C-alpha cells in the first residue's frame, strides 16, 4: 500500500520539478533577449521543416476521422520533438506561459485568499496578509458559494482560479456563507497584486538553532530569505538548518545570492558551460550574513536545479552537512526565447557544475519516459527506504569522482547531490492512517469556523504549542468525520497513531491562527529528517 501512496505522489512531484526547474538560468537570457527572440521567431516561421509540418497539419484537419484540437496537437508535437533533445527543453503555449511564470515572479493579480475545496465547496483557509480580501474582513472558514452571481460549488481548482484571478484594479463579486450568519454576505473585491511566498517558514527551534524552509527560488526569494535570516540572527541564532526538500528550483541568481550568504571571499558557487556558451563563473562577493556558524542543508528526491546549486556549493566547500536523500539530478540550464504567437521556447543551452566540477544532471539517454519514471524506480529498488544500501550507491556514477575544496572528501557527479548523512523515506503505518490523516485539514476548517472564540485565548504560537490540547470530545468528532468521508473507521489504527494525528490537527489549527508561522513549528516535531538534522547540528 505504501508503494501505491508513493506512486500517486510521483507524477505531481515530477511535473512540478519540470515546470519550475526549467526556469533555471532564465535570468541569463535577458541581456540577449531581443536578438534571441528574433532569431528563434524567424527560425520557427520559415524553412522547409515548418512547411512540411503545416502540410501534415492541413491533412490532419481536413481528413482525420475525428475532430482534432489543433492547439493541443501542435503543442504535443513540439514538446515531443524537443524532448528528443533532453527532458527540460520545452515549448510553452501562450495560454500556459502566464501561469508558469507567475510562480517565479513572486506575485499575481487576484483577491488574495488561500483556499481549499471541501465537499465541492470553496473554503477560505486564510486571507493573505495585506491583500484585498483581508482588508474587507473575509475570514478563515468562510465558504465562497457564488462568484459574480454564478455558483462556485462543484468547480475544480483551475476553474476557481480563473474566476478569482484577473487584471489588477478589476472587480469580482463573491457571496459568502459564514457560520452563525443567517444570510449570505456579499463582497465586491478589487483585485490587486498578491505576493506568492517562496520562504514558507523561519523560526527558532531553541535559543541557538534557527530553521528556514524555502519552497522554490523565485524573483523574491532572496529578499524573503534575508528577512527571515536577519530576524533569526537578532534572536540569537548561531546554527542554521536550511530546508530545501521538495524544492524544484527556479532562478539561478536567487540560488547564487543565498549561497553567497554562507561562503566567504570570492568562492566559486557554480559555473555554466555549453557548446556555444563559454564558461561563466558565479562567485561569492559580499560579506555574507551567515559565513560563520554551523549549517545543515536538507535535501531529498524532490530537490532540484537551484536547490542543488546551493547544496552542492555548501558540500563542495565543506561549509556544512547535507542531510536527507539523494536529490533529483537536474543540472541543465535553459534560456527562454519569446515566440511570435505569444508562447515561448525554453531550450537547454548549458550544463551547470558545482565548485568541484560535478555536473549533477542524471542520465536521460534512455528517453523521456525512463527519465520520468526514475523516482519510481528509486523507490522500487529500495534506494529511498534504504539510501545507504549497496544498490543505492550503485546508482551514483562512481567513475565521476571529485573532491571537496577544503577537506578533500570524495563526492560524485552524474546523478544529484548525495547527502553526507542519509535518512530513509518514512513509511506510513497503513493506507488507512494516511487517508485518515488527509481528512484532518477538512475537519480543522469546519471545527475552527464553528469554535473561533475558543482560540482567542492564545496570543502567540509558543503559548498555543504549550497549552492547546486535542480533547477526547474533539477527537471523537474527528473520528465521526473520518467515518463519514472514508466510509470506514479503524479505531485501533487511529488510536495507535493518535499522537501523529493530534500533532497534525494541532498544526492545522495553528495555521488557521498564524499561517505557516504557526504550522511548521508544530508539524516539524513529527519530521524525522529534521529531528535528525537538529540532533546533528547540536553535536
Catalytic residue flag (residue 305): yes
Please check whether residues 352 and 226 belong to one and the same domain: yes
Please check whether residues 215 and 301 belong to one and the same domain: yes
Higher pLDDT, 405 or 140: 405
Please check whether residues 300 and 244 belong to one and the same domain: yes
Given 37, 305, 327, 422, the catalytic residue: 305
In the predicted model, is pLDDT for residue 12 greater than 60?
Answer: no
Q: Are strands 321-324 and 294-299 parallel, antiparallel or unpaired?
A: parallel
Please check whether residues 267 and 353 belong to one and the same domain: yes
Convert 65-88 to b/e letters by CB count within 10 Å (16 or more is b).
Answer: eeeeeeeeebbeebbeebbeebbb
Which of 77, 105, 133 is the C-terminal boundary of a domain?
Answer: 105
At 235, the pLDDT band (50, 70, 90 cuts) reads: very high
In the predicted model, is pLDDT for residue 20 greater than 60?
Answer: no
For the chain, give the mean pLDDT: 85
Q: What is the pTM of this model?
A: 0.80
DSSP assignment string, 250-308: B-HHHHHHHHHTTS-TT-EEEEEE-SSS--EEEE--S--TTSSSEEEEEE-TT--THHH
At 50, the pLDDT band (50, 70, 90 cuts) reads: low
**Of 97-111, 155-169, 241-255, 428-442, where does mean pLDDT reach its minimum?**
97-111
C-alpha to C-alpha distance for 17 and 244, rounded to whole angstroms: 13
C-alpha to C-alpha distance for 437 and 490, rounded to whole angstroms: 13
| Residue 340 belongs to a domain | no
In the predicted model, is pLDDT for residue 103 greater than 50?
Answer: yes
Name the burial class of residue 374, with classes exposed (0-12), middle (13-18) and buried (19+) by CB atoms within 10 angstroms of its CB.
buried
pLDDT digits (tens, 9 = 90+) for 478-502: 999 999 989 999 999 999 999 999 9
CA 81 to chain centre: 27
Catalytic residue flag (residue 487): no
Reduce the DSSP state of residue 111 to 3 states and report it. Answer: coil
- Range with the largest mean pLDDT of 144-148, 237-241, 399-403: 237-241
| Residue 24 belongs to a domain | yes
Q: How many angstroms separate the Cα of 366 from the Cα of each of 85, 142, 195, 385?
A: 12, 50, 40, 25
Given 260, 316, 338, 374, the catalytic residue: 316
Please check whether residues 231 and 122 belong to one and the same domain: no
Please check whether residues 91 and 238 belong to one and the same domain: no
Which alpha helices (H) appear in 141-208, and where do they start and end?
157-164
Q: Are strands 107-110 and 192-195 parallel, antiparallel or unpaired?
A: antiparallel
Overall number of domains in the chain: 4
Which of 195, 211, 226 is the C-terminal boundary of a domain?
Answer: 195
- Cell 547540536: give the residue: 538
C-alpha to C-alpha distance for 29 and 202, rounded to whole angstroms: 32
Range of the domain at 464: 431-538
pLDDT digits (tens, 9 = 90+) for 327-338: 999 999 988 899
Please check whether residues 412 and 322 belong to one and the same domain: yes
Query: What are the phi and psi torsion angles at 86 (to 5°)?
Result: -165, 165
Higher pLDDT, 137 or 402: 402
pLDDT digits (tens, 9 = 90+) for 293-325: 999 999 999 999 999 999 999 999 999 999 999
**Of 24-38, 115-129, 354-368, 503-517, where does mean pLDDT reach its minimum?**
24-38
**Of 26-30, 174-178, 399-403, 467-471, where does mean pLDDT reach its minimum?**
26-30
3-state secondary structure 436-505: HHHCHHHHHHHHHHHCHHHHCCCCCHHHHHHHCCCCHHHHHHHHHHHHHHHCCCCHHHHHHCHHHHHHHH
At 52, the pLDDT band (50, 70, 90 cuts) reads: confident
**Cβ pair 179, 187 in contact under 8 A:** no
Please check whether residues 245 and 127 belong to one and the same domain: no
Please check whether residues 438 and 365 belong to one and the same domain: no
CB neighbourhood size of 41 (10 A) = 16
Which of 154, 173, 195 is the C-terminal boundary of a domain?
Answer: 195
For residue 354, the model assigns a pLDDT of: 97
Catalytic residue flag (residue 490): no
Q: Which CATH number fits the domain that encloses residue 134?
A: 2.30.42.10
Q: Which CATH number fits the domain that encloses residue 411?
A: 3.90.226.10
Given 330, 362, 395, 506, the catalytic residue: 330
Amino acid at each position: 500500500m505504501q508503494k501505491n501512496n508513493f506512486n500517486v505522489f510521483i507524477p505531481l512531484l515530477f511535473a512540478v520539478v519540470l515546470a519550475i526547474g526549467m526556469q533555471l538560468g532564465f535570468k541569463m537570457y535577458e541581456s540577449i533577449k531581443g536578438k534571441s527572440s528574433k532569431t528563434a521567431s524567424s527560425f520557427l516561421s520559415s524553412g522547409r521543416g515548418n512547411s512540411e509540418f503545416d502540410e501534415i497539419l492541413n491533412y490532419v484537419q481536413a481528413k482525420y476521422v475525428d475532430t482534432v484540437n489543433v492547439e493541443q496537437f501542435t503543442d504535443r508535437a513540439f514538446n515531443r520533438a524537443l524532448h528528443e533533445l533532453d527532458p527540460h527543453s520545452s515549448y510553452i503555449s501562450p495560454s500556459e506561459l502566464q501561469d508558469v511564470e507567475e510562480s517565479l515572479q513572486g506575485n499575481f493579480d487576484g483577491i488574495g485568499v488561500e483556499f481549499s475545496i471541501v465537499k465541492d465547496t470553496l473554503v477560505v483557509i486564510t486571507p493573505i496578509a495585506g491583500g484585498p480580501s483581508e482588508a474587507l474582513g473575509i475570514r478563515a472558514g468562510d465558504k465562497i458559494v457564488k462568484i459574480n452571481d454564478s455558483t462556485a460549488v462543484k468547480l475544480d481548482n483551475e476553474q476557481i482560479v480563473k474566476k478569482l484571478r484577473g487584471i489588477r484594479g478589476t472587480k469580482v463579486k463573491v457571496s459568502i456563507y459564514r457560520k452563525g450568519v443567517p444570510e449570505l454576505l456579499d463582497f465586491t473585491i478589487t483585485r490587486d497584486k498578491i505576493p506568492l511566498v517562496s520562504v514558507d517558514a523561519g523560526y527558532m527551534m531553541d535559543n541557538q538553532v534557527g530553521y528556514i524552509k524555502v519552497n522554490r527560488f523565485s524573483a523574491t526569494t532572496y529578499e524573503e530569505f534575508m528577512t527571515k535570516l536577519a530576524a533569526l540572527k537578532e534572536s540569537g541564532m548561531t546554527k542554521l538548518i536550511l530546508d530545501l526538500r521538495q524544492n524544484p528550483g527556479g532562478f539561478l541568481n536567487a540560488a547564487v545570492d543565498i549561497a553567497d550568504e554562507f561562503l566567504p571571499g570570492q568562492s566559486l558557487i557554480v559555473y555554466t558551460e555549453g557548446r556555444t556558451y563559454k564558461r561563466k563563473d558565479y562567485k561569492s562577493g559580499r560579506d555574507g550574513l551567515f559565513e560563520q556558524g554551523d549549517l545543515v542543508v536538507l535535501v531529498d528526491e524532490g530537490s532540484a536545479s537551484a536547490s542543488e546549486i546551493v547544496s552542492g556549493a555548501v558540500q563542495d566547500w565543506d561549509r556544512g552537512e547535507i542531510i536527507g536523500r539523494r536529490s533529483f539530478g537536474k543540472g541543465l540550464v535553459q534560456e527562454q526565447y519569446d515566440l511570435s504567437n505569444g508562447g515561448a521556447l525554453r531550450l537547454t543551452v548549458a550544463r551547470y557544475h558545482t565548485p568541484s566540477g560535478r555536473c549533477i544532471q542524471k542520465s536521460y539517454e534512455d528517453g523521456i519516459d525512463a527519465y520520468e519514471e526514475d523516482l519510481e524506480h528509486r523507490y522500487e529498488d529500495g534506494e529511498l527506504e534504504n539510501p545507504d544500501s549497496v544498490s543505492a550507491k550503485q546508482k551514483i556514477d562512481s567513475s565521476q569522482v571529485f573532491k571537496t575544496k577544503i577537506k578533500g572528501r570524495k563526492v560524485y557527479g552524474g546523478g544529484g547531490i548525495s547527502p553526507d548523512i542519509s535518512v530513509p523515506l518514512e513509511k506510513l503505518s497503513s493506507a488507512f492512517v494516511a487517508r485518515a490523516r488527509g481528512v484532518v485539514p477538512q475537519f480543522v476548517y469546519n471545527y475552527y469556523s464553528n469554535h473561533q472564540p475558543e482560540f482567542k485565548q492564545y496570543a502567540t504560537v509558543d503559548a498555543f504549542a504549550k497549552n492547546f490540547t486535542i480533547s477526547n470530545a474533539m477527537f471523537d468528532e474527528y473520528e465521526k468525520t473520518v467515518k463519514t468521508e472514508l466510509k470506514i473507521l479503524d479505531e485501533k489504527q487511529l488510536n495507535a497513531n493518535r499522537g501523529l494525528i493530534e500533532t497534525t490537527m494541532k498544526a492545522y489549527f495553528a495555521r488557521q491562527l498564524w499561517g505557516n508561522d504557526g504550522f511548521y513549528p508544530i508539524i516539524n516535531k513529527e519530521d524525522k529528517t529534521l529531528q535528525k538534522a537538529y540532533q546533528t547540528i547540536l553535536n
